[in-house]
């Protein structure tokens, strides 16, 4: 494998462990989420340094709406604050912000901040930061199937013409390559409804570190571990 191929083009992270981090320190869960902002900055710095072109962060799942209303409200407020505060630095770093997921459930305020961040960072050349917000893979696939069904009903496509590419093009992630490496912090080893279609040939890494303690060195360790893997994509080498 060439040196360039040993660097993942697309890294996706399930940022797990904020609540446990807070509980271990006798803090409110909100404080764990707030402490999770710095690891995002660290991951962006490390990704840019390695030449990673796409970084996807699982920030808020469709299932997260089931959490206590107070926690959800604090997450929304933290998100808005972070988008406003971080956008100037993202522009400076050449980071383009994009979102996957169903944004329609968010308040007008959150949707406004999201749109502004995407608009203001458009054209960033260093890397694309993809925020998975109100996202779940099953929901994404369901929405894609409905879209394709509407096309079939309208006579735009015959059922026999539907292919993997047809489905892939209907997903939120259509503009981006599939992830090469998926990282989940906190030692948990499951995808939790994240990028199920796109993860077909991804490599996985499950560090024990809780997300608020995740550093550039941890990101480096993930990339270094990826470089040691022998990716065959179902073929024999």
Q: How far apart are CA 127 and CA 158, in angstroms?
A: 37
Burial category of 80 from C-beta neighbours within 10 Å (exposed 0-12, middle 13-18, buried 19 and up): middle
Please answer whether residues 170 and 140 qualify as being in contact, where contact means their C-beta atoms are separated by less than 8 angstroms.
no
- Active-site residue among 3, 16, 85, 213? 16
**16 is known as an active-site residue:** yes
The first and second tokens of residue 192, run together, are 């939790």
CA dihedral 131, 137, 138, 144 (to 10 degrees): 80
The dihedrals phi and psi of 130, each to the nearest 5 degrees, come to -105, 115
Q: How many Å apart are CA 152 and CA 67, to the nearest integer? A: 38
Catalytic residue, from 3, 18, 64, 230: name it. Answer: 64
Q: CA nearest 173: which of 215, 202, 207, 211?
A: 202
Q: Please confirm, yes or no, whether 134 is among the known catalytic residues.
A: no
Angle at the Cα of 1 from the Cα atoms of 57 and 205, rounded to 5 degrees: 30
Catalytic residue positions, numbered: 16, 64
């Amino acid at each position: 494998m060439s040196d360039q191929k040993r660097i993942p083009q697309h890294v996706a992270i399930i940022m797990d462990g904020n609540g446990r981090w807070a509980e271990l320190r006798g803090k409110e869960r909100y404080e764990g989420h707030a402490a999770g902002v710095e690891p995002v900055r660290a991951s962006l710095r490390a990704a840019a340094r390695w030449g990673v072109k796409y970084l996807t962060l699982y920030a808020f799942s469709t299932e997260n709406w089931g959490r206590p209303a107070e926690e959800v409200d604090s997450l929304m407020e933290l998100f808005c604050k972070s988008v406003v505060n971080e956008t100037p630095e993202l522009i400076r770093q050449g980071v383009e912000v994009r979102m996957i997921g169903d944004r329609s459930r968010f308040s007008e305020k959150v949707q406004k901040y999201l749109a502004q961040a995407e608009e203001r960072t458009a054209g960033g050349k260093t890397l694309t930061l993809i925020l998975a917000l109100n996202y779940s893979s099953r929901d994404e696939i369901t929405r894609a199937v409905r879209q394709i069904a509407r096309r079939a009903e309208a006579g735009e496509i015959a059922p026999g013409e539907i292919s993997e590419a047809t489905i892939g093009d209907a997903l939120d992630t259509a503009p981006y390559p599939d992830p090469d490496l998926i990282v989940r912090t906190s030692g948990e080893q499951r995808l939790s409804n994240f990028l199920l279609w796109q993860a077909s040939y991804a490599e996985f890494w499950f560090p024990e570190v809780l997300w608020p303690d995740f550093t550039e060195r941890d990101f480096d360790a993930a990339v270094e571990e990826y470089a040691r893997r022998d990716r065959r994509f179902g073929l024999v080498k």
